Every structure is written in structure tokens, then in C-alpha cells.
């Protein structure tokens, strides 16, 4: 039976009650979870809760939060709960719009409005455009406008006609006609109303011909002077027409704009924008004129699909309501599930128009930073970091205190064409990143900006001390799950079984894993089995059924491997004994479920130069930790058995029939036992598998996956038939962690299987060999016949033979020298 | 007045009002339409002069001219006019054709015109004496077919003026108004531009009787001078205005002043009449 080692750990064969810590369900005080209040119990996260409260409460810049911890412990759920509570207590932030920038069209202007007024502003601007669409054409259709326009046009026309007419009259006075040619005007001598025929002209006296030619040249010069004046007159007329148009437009727009100005008087940005709109409309009244036949009106383009209306001139007066808080009553909480660069900072969309991609301010869409502005934003750190430039964009926004919507292609310099550069929007929000610990460590180590921006670490624990109070909290959590997920109520025994499973998941009978998604999964599956069985409540055997079914679902590989052993294709003995051969235990994981695999470990020794050959490492199948374990064994051997002389040993260690990577040091105790067996030439029992790591003093140290390893070996032994001498030798430090399955516990209780806890290699060797290990006496020797004495003698023999072998060449050399 | 063909002539592109009015009339009268581009013999004569040249418009600058370049320019203009006419006709149920003739414009038209033709001629104030209104009117004297003069500067003419010669056959006027009445007669106005006299009163009564016999009932006004016509038109906005002008010079001034197409009626009917 088990004794106690230093530190209170049990040593020796463990009792059945030491293999499984039962949950004391009778102390729960309820029969089903329906009787428990759902008070949103938080299980074992006091440290995280305190950090969350601090991080949310502090308003200084840079105090963003990083919620780290194992997956499934409720980081997002808990952070969301606290953030939503905090958001509910904060005021609704401002609405944000983008409007056309009349001075710099490529740089849309951002305007903030009180919450809910953004929509009203958008609607008011749409109405203004609609009113102008009727008001401006009506003003231009008035007789007054037409008359004044005709006056200006007529003035220009008359001016031209008068000037040309004067030239024509000068020409006519000299019997020269002014003719309109395809490219302008020409002069020709007349005969009556008609141009003089060439023959008649040639018949004229020379003097008359010269006179006509000279007169025509003079007239051409005069005409040139007139024509040069025409563009000047036309510009003057155009200026007058423009002023007339502005005056007419002004009468149509002034009252409408003034009305809006007074409505938005407390908002200077809006008032300024309205002033710019007024000026722009005065210059572009034609946008509001009805379309001519075959044209699409500007207003039609405005309401049509973007692709068709990309060129609509009236879109410049639209309002792009980027963030609308009309329907919200508190500050926002946003969880962005897909934190790409664009989803964070917004994007500028494009539409295809005439074969080219075009964009304008109405195509700017909000990102998560816009939506969460004034509140809280939660992001998954890993997702964020795996999206190109998303992390940089977030940091840039937090450091600069503004969100700048810039296409990713521009950030990367992939586009050289001119694009929109919307005005940045001031940013005031708190960001919570959720991620694993190693991501936090990496960011902290490699990104100097990270500690400045995420000063609050929220460290979520993966397990909690298994106390009665914690078990009751766990029950409350199960009750909450059942209620929220509409599962059947859980009986107290079912909750107890879940507690035990949580304890096993924590890898310790003294802990409870608080991986809530795993607990929820088990609860849902147990509920399913209760349903299959037609029950109204979930019983303990439903939980057991769920666990069994889960094991069966991933049992294919362990079963196949076991079959290979049973059929003798993989050599693992579960009985008998052999020198230099021990059963080690490995752990594999499939789909989140782990299982143990027995593996044969052998050792061979001979005289040599102190080399301990790790075949796994030599064949590049051994990991660094495994190699370290083997080197520790060498240190143990040298220190314990050859402290005063050379270690003239050459040994080989191997995981037999292992063709994959071997890592970890949990087999170092097994390897050492095999090696010492080979040195002592004493066989080891192959009925007992060994797991544990060792240090250079021969202490056996704790390893991981102890439950799975024991169960894996138990399953193999069961398949061959339990003979009573089989068992597993484990580190004493692992004994408190045991939460073994029912079959193992029953077998141990029935004396058909044994779990031995050992603190030293000597204790293990004695169990495996049945021979006393032996301790050094007062003169430093081991008792005769003890294992250690045999080992020491063997090593001394190796050393002596090595010394003799080394002396032979030295003697030959000395003889040759003498002979010379 | 029976019109079976509307012949529209122009010597340069840009006569949109003339083309549009011709198309409208052809449709209203169920007549065919013939477009004519006149390659002016005057221009060709100009090009043969030893010092022939032109001053560009609107870009000033002198260029030498020869016959070939003039012909190329005229051909290009003819193509543009044909395209303009085609675009005005497009989509309308109208039979039409287009020709290029080399002539002095009005002479050619009046010589070719048949008894059932209506000639439409574009004129320009800025075109110089050879294509101006005075020349067109002088050429029209003694013509036996109606001639519609349309100034190039008009944009969307909504009304038409019908101007008989100083001494005219009232039956010719009645024929013309009868033909135009369905389209323009809703607000017809006859204006007697001559001092009141027994002779003018008799003429008016005769016109009145003839029109009444055809069921036409225009308003009558008397005006002291032809140059006051635009003011009266602006005041009463008739669609069809008929100034009865006793003096040839006043007639020319009225045609120039009226901002609408002007249908000049011949003194007498030729051939078949309605």
C-alpha cells in the first residue's frame, strides 16, 4: 500500500480511492439545476474580472485591453458582458457623415452631428435637391429670365451683325460683296447682285483690278479686326449670362438654404457646408434643369443604381450617412468577427462606369472602428494578426486618435491613380483584443508599440482550485447553460459527473478546468442522450454516455494500434521479464481527445568511451526535449556510478517500432530503467509500464497525460486479460492528478491492476526487478548483490578493460623507444 | 394652297430652324420633303479670282482660296447639311430626299419650283449682301410659288408669319391660311399695316368674307408702322400672324423684324390652286 514521500505525496501501490476523486453531490443541496438561480456566475476568474473592471474604467489613452488565456475559458463571453454593461452606461456618440468637398473633391469632408440627426440631415439635403429641381427650372422658365437672356444674346448677335454689317457696307460702297465661305468670309467684286465673273474681271483695266485688289485687302484687314473682337464680346456675353443665371438661381435657392441654416444653426460645420452648397448650386444651376430628349435627368441618375448613375452631377449634394445612431440608446459595443483591414477602417467602394472603376464620397463605407467609435470594440488577436495590414491599421488609428479610410492598395503602394482621401474621423474608443498567451508574449517582445497601446492585461485562468464552493459554482454555470440553451435540467449526479470530467480535463483531481465551451459541449451531448432515452432531466449516466460516445468516435486509431500489438506486429509485452527492456507510455491527440499508447523501449550496453547513444536522436526522430532527457541519464550514470573514474560505457537506447517523431522527457525514467537493467543484467518486469522523467539525482518527476497513459496501457492489458501483476509505475508527483476511468479504478480495487507511485528510480527498479536497489553504506559501497552494486561492478569492469586496452599501445611505444 | 412638296434650301450648315420648320410643314401638309444644298456659284466665282482669299471665322486669319479648296469646303458643308436634315427627320413618317445643286440659291429654287411646291430658304443677317434678306426678297419679286424665309438665328420657332405682297389676290392668302390653319390657326391675327382708307377697308372685308367662307375666324388689328409688329406679337403671342403691308420697303423691314419664319406669298396663283 502507498506510503508517503517528502511533500506528502503517496508512494507505492495506490489505493482505488486515490485514483478517482468523486464529486460530493450530496453536498450540492439541489436535485436538479432548475432549482439553482441563474445569476451569471463567473467561475474562477477573479483576476480577470478585476483587470476587466480596471481596463474599462480607466479613461486614459493606451489603456486598451488584451484578454489572454486558454481557448474556451469564456474570455469573449466575459469581456462582452462587461463591455456591454459599460456601454449601456455611456452616452450615445455622435453620428458621422461624409459630404462632398467643393474645394477638394478628392477629399470628402467628414461632418459630425448629434446622435440621430445624421439621418435628418441626409433627408433634408435630399429634400433640398428635390425642391431645387422644381424651383430652379421654374425660375429659369419665367418670362423675366427669358427676356433678359434674349437681350444678352441679342446684344451679342447685334454687335456681331453690326460690325460685320459695317464691313459689308464699306465693301458694298466699293461695289465689293461680302460672302460667307465654308471657312469664314470672303470679298469679291460685284456686278449687280452677283459676283463678277472671272472673265469680266480679267477684262477690267489694270488700274481697276489693282484698285479692287487693294480695296479687298483693306476690307480683309478691317474684317480681321472685327473677328478678333468677337471672342471678347462673346466672353462678355457669357459673363453676363452667368451672372444672370446666378441671380435667378439665387432667388430660387436662398430661402431654402436659409431655412436649413436656421435649423442647423448650432452646428457650425453643417452651416459652413450649406454655404458651400449654396455657392456651388449658383454655379451649376444646369444640373437641376430637366433632361432634354434622349438624356437621363440628373435626378434620375441620382436615384438609379450606382453603376448607371456614376456620373450623376446631383450626387455631389447627397449625404453619405456613415454612422447612424438614430436607433441606439447607448454607446456601441462592436465585435468584429472578420477583422480585415477594410472591415476595420472602412472602405472606398468603386463602380464600373464606361469600362473604368470610379468612386465618390457616397461609396465610402464604415468600418468597425467607425461603428464602435465612442464605445467598445472587441477583436480576436489571431484573426487580426493574420489579416494583411489589419494590425498596422488598428495601431495607426489608436496612435493617431483618428480613423483614416484608405484603400489597402494605396497603403501598399499598388495603385498610383488618384483616389479618394476622405478626411479622417476622430477616434475615441476602447479596444479589447482576445487571444492566447503566446500571442500576447510575441507582441510584447517584438512590437514596441504594443505595450503603449494595450496596457491592461486580462489574464484568464484555465482552471480553478477544486473546492466544494467551486463545484457549486460549476453547478450554477451548468444551470445557466441549460437555461440559456434550452437543455433539460441536470440532476445533481449529472452535474457531479461533469465536475469530475472537468477535473480530469484540468489534468488534476485538485483542479477544475473552466473551459466553458468544452463543458457546454458535454452538456449538449448529455442532453441529447437524455432525449434519446426519453428523459425529462439529464442523469449521470447520460453524461457518461456522452463521454463514452465521444471516446468511441475517436477510438479508431487507438483500437487499430492495439490490434497491431495484439496480433504481434507491434511488439509490446504485458507480461514476463527481460533484461534491458521496458514498456514506456506515449500520448497522442485526435480531435481534442488524448489517448495513451504503450511502446517498447530497449537498451544495450558495452564497453566504450562514455557515449550514450540515443538512436532516436541519431536517426533525427528525436526532439530536443527527448535528447535532453537522455543527456540527463548520462549525467545520472556518471555521477552515481563513476564519480571516481571514467565511465567506460557505450550504450544504445531506442523506442522500438517507432517511426515518427519522439519528443518529451516523460520516457526518460523508462529509458533509465532499461539501461540500468542492461548494466545490472537483471530482467525488468514487462507487466508494468513506466512513465516519468528523471533528473541527475535519480528523482522521478511529474509528467503530463498520466491518466491517458495509464488507461492506454490498461486497455491493452484488458484486451489480453488482466493477470493481476500488471500495472503502471508513475511519478509520485502525478498521483494527486489521477482521475482514471471507472474500469481502471474497479480493476485496481479488485487487485487485477496496480498503479505504483515512485519518487526515485531506485524505488521503480525494485518494483520492476524485485531486487533491492541498495544504498551506499558508510564506506561508500553498495550492498553486495544489490542492483546498484551490480551496476557499479559492471561499469568498473568496463573501466578496467578500457584502461588495459589503452595501456597496450603505450607499452609497445615505450618498448620501441628503448629498442632504438 | 395645295402643297405636295416642301423644298428646303440652305447654303451652309447650322440652319436648324429652317430644317425643323420645313419638316414640320411637310408633316402638317402631308407633303414630301426635298432638301437642297446650294453650292453658290458666287463662291466658286470668288475662288477663281487671282487674289481670292478668305478671313477665317471665328478664328481670324487670312487664307488663300482656290477652286479646289472651295469645292472641298462646299462638299463638306453639303454632307453636314444632309446629316442635319437626316437627324431632324429621324423617326418621323416622312418621305424625303437630298440634293446638291450649283446655283444662285433663290433663282434655282424658284426656277425649279412646281405649282404645288413650298420653298423654304434659310437666310442669315451676318451672311453678307449676297445671301441676305434683301437679296432674297428682290429675287422673290414676281415669283409664283410661296417662299418661307427662316432666319438662321431662330431657335425654336413656334409661330409663322404669312406676308402677302403689297397688292395681292385675297384668294391666294385664303389658300395659304387654309393650309396652315390646322397647325397654327388657334391664335391667328391679321394686322393691317397701312393708314385707314376705304380701299383698305374693302380689302379687309373681302379677306374676311373669303376666310369666313372657309370657316376661318382670325382676329384683326390695325397698326401704324411695320416696325411695331414685334411689339404687337410680343403682346398678343399669335401662332399665325398675317401683316398686310402696302409698301415694299415696309415689307422687307417687317420680315427682318419678325422673330419667326415668314411665308412670302406670290402676287398671283400659278397653275393649280385649291
Topology agreement, domain B1-44+71-157 and domain B159-274: yes
SS3 A100: coil
Whole-angstrom distance, CA of residue A377 vs CA of residue A281: 41
What are the residues facing A594 on neighbouring strands? Answer: A589
Question: What's the whole-number average pLDDT of chain A?
Answer: 89
SS3 A786: coil
Q: Which CATH architecture has domain B1-44+71-157?
A: 3-Layer(aba) Sandwich (3.40)
Total of domains in chain A: 4
Lowest mean pLDDT among A124-133, A295-304, A659-668, A765-774: A295-304
What is the average per-residue pLDDT within A471-479? 91
**Rounded alpha-carbon distances, angstroms, from residue A63 to A53, A59, A87, A449, B87:** 12, 7, 16, 13, 72
pLDDT digits (tens, 9 = 90+) for A396-414: 999 999 999 987 777 677 6
pLDDT digits (tens, 9 = 90+) for B188-225: 888 888 877 888 888 888 888 888 888 888 888 888 88
Q: Please provide the CATH number assigned to the domain covering B159-274.
A: 3.40.50.620
pLDDT digits (tens, 9 = 90+) for A425-466: 999 999 999 999 999 999 999 999 999 999 999 999 888 999
Q: Is B40 left (phi over 0), alpha (psi -120 to 50) or beta?
A: beta
Lowest mean pLDDT among A2-11, A149-158, A207-216, B262-271: A2-11
pLDDT > 70: what percent of chain A? 95
pLDDT digits (tens, 9 = 90+) for A667-685: 999 999 999 999 999 999 9
pLDDT digits (tens, 9 = 90+) for B89-127: 998 889 999 999 888 766 666 666 777 788 888 877 654
E-state strands within B112-206: 117-123, 147-151, 160-163, 188-193
Q: Do A454 and A479 share a domain, yes or no?
A: no
Question: Is A343 a member of any domain?
Answer: yes
Identify which of B100, B147, B103, B97 has the alpha carbon closest to the alpha carbon of residue B123. B147
Residue A206, CB half-sphere, CA atoms under 13 Å: how many?
A: 0
Identify the pLDDT of residue B3.
Answer: 78
CB atoms within 10 A of CB B247: 13
Q: Do A124 and A216 share a domain, yes or no?
A: yes
Question: Is A817 a member of any domain?
Answer: no
- Please report which confidence band the pLDDT of residue A622 belongs to, taking 50, 70 and 90 as the band edges: confident
Active site amino acids of A:
666, 709
Q: Do A304 and A282 share a domain, yes or no?
A: yes
What is the average per-residue pLDDT within A355-372? 89
Chain B positions touching A164 (Cβ under 8 A) are 126, 128
Output the domain CATH number for residue A398: 3.40.50.300
Q: Do A449 and A477 share a domain, yes or no?
A: no
Chain A: closest CA distance from residue B126 (Å): 5
Q: Do A50 and A174 share a domain, yes or no?
A: no
SS3 B244: strand
pLDDT digits (tens, 9 = 90+) for B155-184: 666 788 888 888 888 888 888 888 888 777
- Please report which confidence band the pLDDT of residue A754 belongs to, taking 50, 70 and 90 as the band edges: very high
B160-163 and A184-191 strand pairing: unpaired
CB contact under 8 A, A195 and B42: yes
Question: Is A475 a member of any domain?
Answer: yes
Q: Do A277 and A377 share a domain, yes or no?
A: no
Whole-angstrom distance, CA of residue B270 vs CA of residue B274: 11
Alpha-carbon dihedral sign for residues A66, A71, A73, A75: positive
Spatial contact of A407 and A348, defined as CB atoms under 8 Å apart: yes
Find the length of chain B: 274
| B71 touching A (Cβ < 8 Å) | no
Output the domain CATH number for residue A752: 3.30.230.10
Identify which of B241, B224, B15 has the alpha carbon closest to the alpha carbon of residue B126. B15
Residue A621 confidence (pLDDT) above 70: yes
Q: Do A185 and A306 share a domain, yes or no?
A: yes
- Please report which confidence band the pLDDT of residue B187 belongs to, taking 50, 70 and 90 as the band edges: confident
A754: its cell numbers: 496496480
Whole-angstrom distance, CA of residue B36 vs CA of residue B85: 10
CB contact under 8 A, A228 and B60: yes
Q: Do A476 and A456 share a domain, yes or no?
A: no
CB contact under 8 A, B56 and A182: no
| A182 closest CB neighbour out of B41, B74, B129 | B74
Chain B positions touching A188 (Cβ under 8 A) are 42, 45-46, 49, 52
Question: Is A6 a member of any domain?
Answer: no
Spatial contact of A69 and A459, defined as CB atoms under 8 Å apart: yes
**How open is the CA angle B119-B121-B125, to the nearest 5 degrees?**
155
Residues 167-186 of B with CB under 8 A from A: none
Q: Do A473 and A526 share a domain, yes or no?
A: yes
Identify which of A258, A364, A268, A270 has the alpha carbon closest to the alpha carbon of residue A315. A364
CB contact under 8 A, B126 and A188: no
Residue A78 confidence (pLDDT) above 80: yes
A463-465 and A511-513 strand pairing: antiparallel
What is the average per-residue pLDDT within A142-154? 85
Identify which of B236, B234, B267 has the alpha carbon closest to the alpha carbon of residue B251. B267
Question: Is A111 a member of any domain?
Answer: no
| A231 closest CB neighbour out of B58, B128, B129 | B58
Question: Is A808 a member of any domain?
Answer: no
Residues of A with CB under 8 A from a CB of B: 157, 160-161, 164-165, 168, 171-172, 177-190, 193-198, 201, 213, 216-217, 220, 223-224, 227-228, 230-231
pLDDT digits (tens, 9 = 90+) for A487-497: 999 999 999 99
Identify which of A465, A461, A467, A533 has the alpha carbon closest to the alpha carbon of residue A494. A533
Domain ranges of chain B: 1-44+71-157, 159-274
Question: Is A109 a member of any domain?
Answer: no
Identify which of A717, A741, A53, A188 has the alpha carbon closest to the alpha carbon of residue B42. A188
Q: What is the biggest distance separating any 2 CA atoms in chain B, rounded to whole angstroms?
A: 61
Domain boundary among A460, A494, A528: A460
Which residue has cell 458666287? B42
Higher pLDDT, A365 or A552: A365
Q: Which of A169, A173, A181 to mutate to test the interface with B (most CBs of B within 10 A)?
A: A181
Residue B83 confidence (pLDDT) above 80: yes
- Please report which confidence band the pLDDT of residue A303 belongs to, taking 50, 70 and 90 as the band edges: very low
- Please report which confidence band the pLDDT of residue A818 belongs to, taking 50, 70 and 90 as the band edges: confident
pLDDT digits (tens, 9 = 90+) for A535-583: 999 999 999 999 999 888 888 888 898 999 999 999 999 999 999 999 9
Domain boundary among A460, A487, A509: A460
Chain B positions touching A227 (Cβ under 8 A) are 55-60
Lowest mean pLDDT among A786-800, B30-44, B259-273: B259-273
Find the length of chain A: 820
Q: Do A181 and A222 share a domain, yes or no?
A: yes
What are the residues facing A182 on neighbouring strands? Answer: none
SS3 B145: coil
**Rounded alpha-carbon distances, angstroms, from residue B205 to B201, B209, B210, B245:** 6, 6, 9, 16
Q: Do A505 and A613 share a domain, yes or no?
A: no
**Rounded alpha-carbon distances, angstroms, from residue B158 to A157, A675, B94:** 21, 118, 20
Q: Do A472 and A499 share a domain, yes or no?
A: yes
Identify the pLDDT of residue A144.
Answer: 83
Output the domain CATH number for residue A534: 1.10.8.60
Higher pLDDT, B76 or B143: B76
Identify the pLDDT of residue A698.
Answer: 93
Spatial contact of A674 and A602, defined as CB atoms under 8 Å apart: yes
pLDDT digits (tens, 9 = 90+) for A495-531: 999 999 999 888 888 899 988 888 999 999 999 999 9
Residue A62 sits in which domain range? 45-91+330-460
Identify the pLDDT of residue B132.
Answer: 61
Spatial contact of B107 and B131, defined as CB atoms under 8 Å apart: no
Residues 104-133 of B with CB under 8 A from A: 104, 124-131
Enter the ipTM.
0.80
Amino acid at each position: 500500500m502507498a506510503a508517503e514521500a517528502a511533500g506528502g505525496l503517496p508512494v507505492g501501490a495506490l489505493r482505488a480511492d486515490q485514483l478517482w476523486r468523486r464529486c460530493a453531490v450530496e453536498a450540492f443541496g439541489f436535485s436538479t439545476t432548475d432549482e439553482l438561480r441563474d445569476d451569471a456566475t463567473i467561475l474562477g476568474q477573479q483576476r480577470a474580472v478585476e483587470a476587466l473592471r480596471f481596463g474599462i474604467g480607466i479613461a486614459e489613452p493606451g489603456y486598451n485591453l488584451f484578454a489572454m488565456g486558454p481557448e474556451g475559458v469564456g474570455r469573449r463571453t466575459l469581456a462582452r458582458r462587461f463591455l456591454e454593461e459599460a456601454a449601456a452606461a455611456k452616452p450615445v456618440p455622435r453620428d458621422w457623415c461624409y459630404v462632398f468637398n467643393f474645394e477638394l473633391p478628392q477629399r470628402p469632408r467628414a461632418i459630425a452631428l448629434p446622435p440621430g440627426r445624421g439621418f435628418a440631415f441626409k433627408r433634408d439635403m435630399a429634400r433640398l435637391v428635390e425642391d431645387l429641381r422644381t424651383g430652379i427650372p421654374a425660375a429659369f422658365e419665367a418670362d423675366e429670365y427669358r427676356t433678359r437672356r434674349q437681350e444678352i444674346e441679342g446684344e451679342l448677335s447685334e454687335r456681331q451683325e453690326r460690325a460685320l454689317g459695317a464691313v459689308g457696307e464699306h465693301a458694298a460702297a466699293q461695289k465689293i460683296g461680302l460672302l460667307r465661305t465654308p471657312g469664314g468670309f470672303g470679298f469679291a467684286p460685284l456686278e449687280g447682285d452677283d459676283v463678277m465673273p472671272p472673265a469680266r474681271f480679267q477684262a477690267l483695266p489694270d488700274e481697276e483690278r489693282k484698285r479692287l485688289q487693294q480695296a479687298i485687302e483693306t476690307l480683309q484687314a478691317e474684317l480681321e479686326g472685327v473677328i478678333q473682337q468677337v471672342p471678347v464680346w462673346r466672353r462678355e456675353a457669357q459673363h453676363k449670362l452667368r451672372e444672370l443665371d446666378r441671380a435667378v438661381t439665387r432667388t430660387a435657392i436662398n430661402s431654402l438654404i436659409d431655412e436649413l441654416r436656421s435649423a442647423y444653426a448650432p452646428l457650425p460645420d453643417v452651416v459652413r457646408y450649406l454655404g458651400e452648397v449654396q455657392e456651388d448650386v449658383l454655379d451649376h444651376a444646369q444640373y437641376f434643369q430637366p433632361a432634354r430628349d434622349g438624356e437621363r435627368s440628373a435626378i434620375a441618375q441620382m436615384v438609379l443604381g450606382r453603376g448607371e448613375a456614376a456620373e450623376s452631377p446631383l450626387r455631389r449634394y447627397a449625404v453619405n450617412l456613415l454612422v447612424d445612431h438614430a436607433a441606439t440608446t447607448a454607446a456601441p459595443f462592436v465585435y468584429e468577427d472578420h477583422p480585415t483591414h477594410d472591415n476595420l477602417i472602412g472602405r472606398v467602394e468603386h463602380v464600373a462606369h464606361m469600362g473604368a472603376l470610379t468612386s465618390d464620397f457616397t461609396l465610402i463605407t464604415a468600418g468597425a472602428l467607425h461603428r464602435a467609435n465612442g464605445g467598445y470594440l472587441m477583436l480576436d488577436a489571431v484573426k487580426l494578426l493574420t489579416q494583411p495590414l489589419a494590425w498596422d491599421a488598428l495601431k495607426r488609428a489608436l496612435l493617431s486618435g483618428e480613423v483614416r479610410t484608405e484603400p489597402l492598395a494605396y497603403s501598399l503602394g499598388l495603385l498610383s491613380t488618384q483616389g479618394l482621401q476622405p478626411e479622417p474621423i476622430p477616434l475615441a474608443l476602447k479596444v479589447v483584443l482576445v487571444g492566447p498567451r503566446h500571442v500576447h508574449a510575441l507582441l510584447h517582445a517584438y512590437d514596441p508599440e504594443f505595450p503603449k497601446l494595450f496596457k491592461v492585461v486580462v489574464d484568464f485562468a484555465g482552471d480553478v482550485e477544486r473546492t466544494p464552493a467551486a463545484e457549486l459554482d460549476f453547478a450554477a454555470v451548468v444551470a445557466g447553460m441549460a437555461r440559456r440553451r434550452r437543455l433539460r435540467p441536470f440532476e445533481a449526479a449529472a452535474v457531479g459527473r461533469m465536475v469530475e470530467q472537468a477535473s480530469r480535463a484540468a489534468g488534476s483531481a485538485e483542479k477544475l478546468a473552466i473551459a466553458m465551451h468544452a463543458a457546454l459541449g458535454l452538456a449538449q451531448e448529455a442532453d441529447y442522450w437524455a432525449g434519446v432515452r426519453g428523459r425529462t432531466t439529464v442523469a449521470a449516466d447520460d453524461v457518461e454516455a456522452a463521454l463514452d460516445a465521444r471516446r468511441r468516435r475517436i477510438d479508431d486509431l487507438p483500437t487499430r494500434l492495439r490490434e497491431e500489438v495484439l496480433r504481434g506486429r507491434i511488439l509490446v509485452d504485458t507480461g514476463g521479464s527481460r533484461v534491458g527492456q521496458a514498456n514506456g507510455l506515449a500520448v497522442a491527440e485526435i480531435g481534442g481527445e488524448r489517448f495513451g499508447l504503450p511502446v517498447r523501449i530497449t537498451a544495450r550496453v558495452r564497453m566504450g568511451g562514455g557515449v550514450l547513444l540515443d538512436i532516436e536522436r541519431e536517426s533525427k526522430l528525436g526532439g530536443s526535449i527527448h535528447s535532453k532527457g537522455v543527456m540527463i541519464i548520462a549525467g545520472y550514470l556518471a555521477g552515481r556510478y563513476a564519480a571516481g573514474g571514467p565511465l567506460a560505457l557505450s550504450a544504445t537506447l531506442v523506442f522500438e517500432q517507432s517511426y515518427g517523431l519522439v519528443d518529451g522527457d516523460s520516457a526518460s525514467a523508462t529509458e533509465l530503467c532499461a539501461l540500468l537493467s542492461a548494466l545490472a543484467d537483471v530482467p525488468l518486469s514487462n507487466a508494468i509500464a513506466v512513465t516519468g522523467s528523471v533528473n541527475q539525482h535519480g528523482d522521478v518527476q511529474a509528467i503530463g497525460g498520466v491518466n491517458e497513459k495509464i488507461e492506454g496501457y490498461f486497455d491493452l492489458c484488458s484486451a489480453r486479460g488482466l493477470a493481476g501483476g500488471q500495472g503502471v509505475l508513475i511519478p509520485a508527483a502525478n498521483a494527486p492528478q489521477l482521475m482514471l476511468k471507472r474500469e481502471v479504478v474497479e480493476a485496481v480495487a479488485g487487485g487485477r491492476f496496480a498503479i505504483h507511485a515512485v519518487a526515485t528510480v531506485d524505488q521503480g527498479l525494485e518494483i520492476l526487478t524485485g531486487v533491492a536497489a541498495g544504498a551506499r553504506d558508510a564506506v561508500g559501497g553498495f550492498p553486495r548483490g544489490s542492483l546498484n552494486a551490480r551496476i557499479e561492478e559492471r561499469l568498473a569492469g568496463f573501466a578496467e578493460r578500457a584502461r588495459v586496452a589503452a595501456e597496450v599501445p603505450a607499452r609497445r611505444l615505450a618498448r620501441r623507444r628503448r629498442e632504438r | 394652297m395645295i402643297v405636295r412638296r416642301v423644298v428646303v434650301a440652305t447654303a451652309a450648315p447650322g440652319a436648324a430652324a429652317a430644317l425643323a420648320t420645313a419638316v414640320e410643314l411637310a408633316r402638317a401638309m402631308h407633303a414630301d420633303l426635298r432638301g437642297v444644298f446650294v453650292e453658290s456659284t458666287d463662291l466658286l466665282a470668288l475662288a477663281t479670282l487671282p487674289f481670292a482669299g478668305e478671313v477665317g471665322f471665328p478664328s481670324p486669319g487670312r487664307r488663300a482660296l482656290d477652286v479646289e479648296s472651295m469645292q472641298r469646303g462646299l462638299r463638306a458643308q453639303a454632307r453636314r447639311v444632309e446629316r442635319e436634315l437626316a437627324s431632324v427627320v429621324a423617326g418621323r413618317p416622312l418621305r424625303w430626299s437630298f440634293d446638291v445643286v450649283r446655283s444662285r440659291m433663290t433663282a434655282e429654287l424658284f426656277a425649279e419650283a412646281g405649282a404645288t411646291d413650298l420653298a423654304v430658304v434659310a437666310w442669315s443677317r451676318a451672311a453678307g449682301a449676297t445671301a441676305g434678306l434683301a437679296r432674297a426678297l428682290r429675287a422673290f419679286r414676281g415669283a409664283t410659288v410661296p417662299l418661307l424665309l427662316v432666319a438662321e438665328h431662330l431657335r425654336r420657332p413656334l409661330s409663322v408669319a404669312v406676308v402677302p405682297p403689297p397688292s395681292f389676290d385675297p384668294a391666294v392668302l385664303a389658300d395659304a391660311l387654309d393650309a396652315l390653319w390646322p397647325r397654327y390657326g388657334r391664335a391667328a391675327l391679321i394686322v393691317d399695316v397701312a393708314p385707314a382708307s376705304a380701299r383698305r377697308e374693302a380689302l379687309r372685308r373681302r379677306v374676311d368674307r373669303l376666310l369666313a367662307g372657309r370657316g376661318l375666324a382670325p382676329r384683326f388689328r390695325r397698326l401704324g408702322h411695320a416696325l411695331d409688329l414685334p411689339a404687337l406679337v410680343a403682346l398678343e403671342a399669335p401662332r399665325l400672324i398675317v401683316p398686310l403691308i402696302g409698301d415694299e420697303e415696309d415689307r422687307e423691314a417687317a420680315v427682318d423684324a419678325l422673330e419667326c419664319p415668314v411665308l412670302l406669298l406670290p402676287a398671283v396663283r400659278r397653275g393649280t390652286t385649291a
